[in-house]
Chains A and B, each alone.
Chain A
Amino acid sequence: MNMTISGRVWKYGDDIDTDVIIPGKYLRTTDMQVFAEHALEGIDPDFSKQVRSGDIIVAGKNFGCGSSREQAPLALKYAGISCVVARSFARIFFRNAINVGLPIIEADITCQQGEICTVDLQQGKVHCGDRVGEGTKLPEFLQEILLDGGLVAHRKKQALK
């Protein structure tokens, strides 16, 4: 995985919760495509139809609050989202995103819907137009998990050492 990511912005507000990201009624499967098809449908029915591979979500505070369902970051990842930038994350979502290999960064930056945004995970910076958001750099061991593509792949790699 590349530690610098560029993509088109989907802009959302504060407290985007896991029921909105992927409603409970779709959790009875383990089919990632089903999660992707219904991602964010509660607040943005157009999202799954119009999202393109590599797009970035830029949101406000407390992104991913609510349930521990890992299907939430999985839905975004399989919908094509390459990174989530938010002012803050709910902690279970934060862990889950790293564990499933969905890059995330805490940063405060104003972007417009559709703008191109660039995230430097290693430096902890987000660029959008001429604006720079100073983000929180992930500790190195979490960067490593992300680089390996998530916790399962990371564990397997470690087991081989």
Chain B
Amino acid sequence: MTADNLTITEKIFSKASGKPVRSGEFVMASIDCAMTHDITGPLAVQGFQEIMKDKPEAKVWDPDKIVILFDHQVPADSLNAAQNHIMLRKFAAEQGITNYDVYEGVCHQVVPEKGWVKPGDLVVGSDSHTCAYGSLGAFSTGIGSTDMAAVLATGKLWFKVPQTIRFEVNGRLPDKVYSKDIILHLIGDVGADGAMYMAAEYGGEAIRALDISQRMTISNMAIEMGGKAGIIEADTTTGDYLKQRIPGFTLDPDWKSDEDCEYEQYHEYDISDLSPQVACPHNVDNVKSVEEVEGTHIDQVLVGSCTNGRFEDIKIVADIMGGEPVAKGVRLLVIPASRTEYMKVLRAGLVDQFMEAGAIVESPCCGPCMGGSFGLLGDGEVGLATSNRNFQGRQGSARAFVYLSSPATAAASALTGEITDPRKV
């Protein structure tokens, strides 16, 4: 890389397209890793087979760069889901593709956990929250099934290199306030289309102070403001995380935006006085401080998902709940995001604590987050979730109401049966 004043996004697309490129240019880029799962995978495989129709022995472009996971409907919750799993298992086996089966966990937890992503990579996944891997300094974005079919066949995809919207977040997080509160605050500020067509880039001392688990929450939700990616430049925290997962990994200091790069937008925040934030029905950008919605009755609390289903998140919930029981009439669902995270929760004795408290601890999966499986909300019911979307009908009935919050706010609310400020328990 010779030119300077580039954003990390421009650097990654320059590498991926084999020539120096700037934002606004159309490129054909080589993909470093492609991920698909049990909901969008079947259409992708059908598309691949259709493209390759005249070549019966057709192979994918590179089986070592493709991952297929089952997480949205696991263990198979219907005959259709079971059939989809059979089809994808067979395809993965024939093609020599790594296939994480129904017990392994949610794609956006398992893919980084198993060392598939590193800084500077161009990653695509047929799931909108693929932007989560930006937390490791990659350009990672969601695509549809047909785009994925083209990637499976060729390993390449066209892109318009996006402009960058930079979020500079300074200050120190107050007690009981977490990265989920930061990202909800940012989304509320710029709106559901505030980062549309742009790469979101997060920096500043408050972001650098976060561990990888909390960074993943922030990158994961870039799509909720329309962002194409949600990148946090790799630093020693990233390096430590990746060294445990990728043999011989060393941090390349060039995978960051140059100081004199051009940002399309630049937003600065100081979060030292930030309150816990809550996204209210039915849009993720309908964000209020917890003080404004305290006392709202809830029927179900969901702790889990790729956004906030890691050990660190679940530990926060356990600590706030102490040995206290779940409020009468409230259903608390705890769903660790992966088998690895589940084992940590188990070994720390938290499964015991949750079961004693009257919670339901499920095996790793997307759970009710996408509203396709179990744990749905019925007509008129109200849910509070640590997940990433609260669109109408998202978690069941179109006449249900979903609020989104941090694990801390979810825990405090599970104890009282109404939305509760975690700083007050």
| Chain A residues with a Cβ under 8 A of chain B | 15, 17-20, 23-25, 27-30, 41-43, 61-62, 65-71, 88, 90-92, 95-96, 99-100, 139, 141, 150-152, 155-156, 159
Contact = CB atoms under 8 A, between A and B. Distances in A.
A70 B43 CA distance: 8
B153 A65 contact: no
Interface stretch (B173-181, B325-333, B347-355, B388-396): B388-396
Contacts of A68: 40, 125-128, 130, 142-144
Nearest to B157: A95
Interface size class of B (residues with CB under 8 A): 35 or more
Contact of B145 (A70, A88, A156): A70
B220 to A, nearest CB: 13
A79 B201 CA distance: 38
Contact of A24 (B26, B50, B143, B371): B371
Contacts, number: 132
A152 B51 CA distance: 6
Contact of A151 (B26, B78, B147, B192): B147
Contact of A156 (B53, B228, B396): B53
Interface in B174-220: 192-193, 196-197
Nearest to A65: B192
Contact of A62 (B78, B80, B158, B226): B226
Interface of B: 26, 39-40, 42-43, 46-47, 50-51, 53-54, 72-73, 77-78, 80-81, 84, 125-128, 130, 142-147, 149-150, 153, 158, 192-193, 196-197, 223, 226, 228, 283, 370-372, 376, 389, 391-394, 396, 398
Contacts of A71: 43
A96 B146 contact: yes
B394 A19 contact: yes
B190 to A, nearest CB: 12
B398 A61 contact: no
Given A62-B226, A68-B128, A91-B226, 8 more contacts: A15-B193, A42-B392, A62-B196, A66-B128, A68-B142, A69-B144, A91-B197, A155-B51
16 contacts: A18-B391, A25-B371, A27-B39, A28-B73, A28-B84, A28-B372, A67-B389, A68-B127, A68-B130, A70-B40, A90-B226, A91-B197, A91-B228, A92-B144, A95-B147, A99-B146
Contacts of B78: 28
A122 to B, nearest CB: 19
Given A65-B226, A92-B143, A43 B192 contact: no
B193 A61 contact: yes
